[in-house]
Amino acid sequence: MLISVALMYFSLRKLNLLEAWHTLQTAQYLWLIPGVAVYFVAVWVRAWRWHYLLRPLKQISTRAMFPVVAIGYMGNNIYPYRAGEVLRAAVLKRREGVPISASLATIIVERVFDGVVMLAFVFLNLNELSKLTGSSGFIGDIRSLAIVGAVIFIGVLLVFLLAAMFPRVTRHLVDWVNGRLVPVKLRAKVEGLAYRFLDGLEALRSPLDALMIFFTSVIIWLLETGKYWFVMHAFPFEVSFFALMLMNGIVNLATTIPSAPGYIGTFDAPGIALLKAYNVPNAVAVGYTLVLHAALWLPITALGLYYFTREGLQWGIVPEDNSEVQA
């Protein structure tokens, strides 16, 4: 929360409130309708991608996955620590009986592919990063951050790919580590969790499947950038689609920084700074970024809450077998 407050203060401290209010009053909010529609198409593709990752564990239709994905994104938006990821794994276990540790493995794979695509968006626009100077109000060296992020995300992806392609070697390694580093009373539980996690990586055993997951991830983030583009038309400025790809990549990488629920500050500060670097007036940059953030947060949160209540879930519910969650 302190990080969120600091970033919002940093972004808004020079804002002319009258100009910002005028920007919000004169915005053409009808453009949000196609923007939200495109975003929900992206959520549907996310549900298809998760269905694809889960195929080795259980065949579940995309239609059945969509409400679970919506519930998970609602959880990410209102809980700290991205708890929505665990929430959707728990709901999937409740509905379909898929072990939480296995479905969490597929969710982590999703996030790694998302990170790789976000970094690709940034690297495709490396020349544009020279505009992000101190005068734009941007903190930090995005080039260095992108390189560090690339090493981390690509490194994790390679580990997952190797673990999926060489399951026997990986299981022997798990057994070796478990037998030497884990207390005796916990070894059986850790072994079970680790094996179920490795089961969740099975979709990566085929290079073609891995390419399909990557291609789907690109489609998802291009659709989300389409929402940025539609919302831009509600405000009196214009930048290229590639600039919005860069913005999408940077703000979503920044949301990995700890913050208040809903990515307050970590989404807004880099977004405002990037638009200012493109000579968008401060009030317009702030108005656009805050409206975009709200348009990304509110519809999926409302839909997730609808599915959450329709499932008959309560805020304090846990799966019948909550040993995996506790672990």
- Distance between terminal CA atoms of the chain? 27
Of 71 and 181, more confident: 71
Which structure tokens are listed for 98?
Answer: 């898929």
What does the pLDDT read at residue 162? 86
**Residue showing tokens 């065949």:** 59
Domain ranges (residues) in the chain: 2-316
One-letter amino acid of 204: L
Angstrom distance (rounded) from CA 276 to CA 162: 42
What does the pLDDT read at residue 296? 95
Contact of 235 with 295, CB cutoff 8 Å: no
Contact of 51 with 209, CB cutoff 8 Å: no
Which structure tokens are listed for 207?
Answer: 């290079």
Least confident of 165-179, 220-234, 287-301: 165-179
Angstrom distance (rounded) from CA 171 to CA 165: 12
What are 105-108's contacts with CB under 8 Å, separation 24+?
Answer: 105/196, 105/197, 105/198, 105/199, 105/200, 105/201, 106/50, 106/53, 106/54, 106/57, 106/200, 106/201, 106/203, 107/50, 108/160
pLDDT value at 70 more than 90 = yes
What does the pLDDT read at residue 128? 67
What stretches of 28-141 show up as alpha helix (H) in DSSP?
A: 32-54, 62-78, 84-96, 100-123
Residues 178-205: what's their mean pLDDT? 82
Give the highest mean pLDDT range of 76-80, 99-103, 175-179, 304-308.
Answer: 304-308
Give the highest mean pLDDT range of 105-119, 180-194, 224-238.
Answer: 224-238
Contact of 276 with 282, CB cutoff 8 Å: yes
Query: Which among 284, 272, 285 has a CA at the least distance from the CA of 10?
Result: 272
Tell me the percentage of the chain whose pLDDT exceeds 90: 43
Q: How confident is residue 327, by pLDDT bands cut at 50, 70 and 90?
A: very low
